[in-house]
Structure 1
């Protein structure tokens, strides 16, 4: 797909981290970008910087997602690109015993469900609604109507202790990639997923310096966290390369996560 000012894109979670980097990379190519996020202050600021628009969107809500797409399409027209970066995580053991008093507790089901609803169901909700819109587009010369990029995690394949919900949600994103690519193949819509390792996002960069150094040392090569711009670089490759379809690609400096 050729990226220029004739193309519109939606990036969920686009106000910070991997999503923000992708917004900036797309805008640098001339693409008209709409940011979906809950952080209105940051989202509006990034949109203003890149000449895009912002919509406050909760990916767990049909009404919110519908309103976001309506706003984006009114401003920019039907998007040909969707990049899903919205997500959360938590760290809770499935069942555990207190070191203080020996009491036993289990993973709260509401907390498990929240991660699944945002990371997995929210991703699928945005895919389904965006793809339905893409079907209204005229195909380009190669028959392509659109491209979708999802964000999973290396935790989908080697989740650590306490990551049952997060790993399940990201594993679901990996598993839905090929079936959706097959669902949409006759309509010229490609679907791919990135599995990032540890990246310099606001969450990780807020850790103590020693913790950041330990994370850097855990990466085989290069011995550092990934730069969000490197995620964006791969996302744009997946979008621009017309033969890239139905793939799940790790972007992690060859890291394999330890149990803890």
Structure 2
């Protein structure tokens, strides 16, 4: 699928992986809707890339529908990339007692339910577009994490939510095949997003020793570049792809 001239929706597009993806798509000629809970961040990215900002929460159907409608107004919606997510840490049994159940539900709600909310509404709109080569109508790319496979201590909520996103990939691809819509999932490792800037330089340096090669943090633009590559390769479908430099997370 050639992204030039298509409409694309990126959730969590106000920073990090989402912003890098929005930028990569815009450079390739896509008309991008940037959705983020942080309205100011969404507007900043949209202004930089010549896109459209839509503030909203991925767990709210009306917010995602508004973003889908805005994207469809720019052209045929062919691509939706879900990057919205949260990652609070808490142990099953901490100093103050058991893991807060509301926190667990919130993480699963944003990361997994929010991802599915975006997938279902974007797919409904894509299914009504004219087919391209190979009868393809669109592509949905969701974001999991390497924590889905080897979550560390304190990551039960995050790992469970991202494991759900990974597990969603194949059945969703099977469901949407009849509509000509592909579904893929990316599982990034240690990427230098704004969250990493809250760590000390020493802590960041220690993290660079974990991947096999290259010995560094990943760059958000490498995630965006992979999104473009997957758009171009129609044979890629129903798969979760790690982008992590061979990283395997240790227990702690």
TM over 0.5: yes
Aligned ranges for residues 102-181 of structure 1 at < 5 Å?
A: 105-181=97-173
Distance 1:62 1:198 in 2: 31
Aligned partner of 2:226 in structure 1 is 234
Q: In 2, are the aligned partners of 1:11 and 1:36 still within 8 Å (CA)?
A: yes
Cα distance, 1:37 vs. partner? Answer: 0.3
Q: CA RMSD in A?
A: 1.0
Cα distance, 1:184 vs. partner? Answer: 0.7
Matched, 1:88 2:80: no
Aligned partner of 1:218 in structure 2 is 210
Distance 1:218 1:184 in 2: 37
Q: In 2, are the aligned partners of 1:200 and 1:228 still within 8 Å (CA)?
A: yes
Of 120-129 and 205-214, the range deviating more from structure 2? 205-214
**TM score, norm. by length of structure 2:** 0.97
Matched, 1:188 2:180: yes
Misfit runs of 4+, over 6 Å: none
Aligned partner of 1:52 in structure 2 is 51
Of 60-69 and 23-32, the range deviating more from structure 2? 60-69
Count of residue correspondences: 252
Aligned partner of 1:62 in structure 2 is 61
Distance 2:14 2:225 in 1: 17
The CA deviation string for residues 226-245 of structure 1, in whole angstroms up to 9 with x for no partner, is 00011111111111101000
Q: What runs of 5+ residues in structure 1 fail to find an aligned partner?
A: 99-103
Larger-gyration structure (1/2)? 1
The CA deviation string for residues 103-135 of structure 1, in whole angstroms up to 9 with x for no partner, is x50000000000000000000000000000011
Q: In 2, are the aligned partners of 1:149 and 1:239 still within 8 Å (CA)?
A: no
Q: In 2, are the aligned partners of 1:148 and 1:239 still within 8 Å (CA)?
A: no
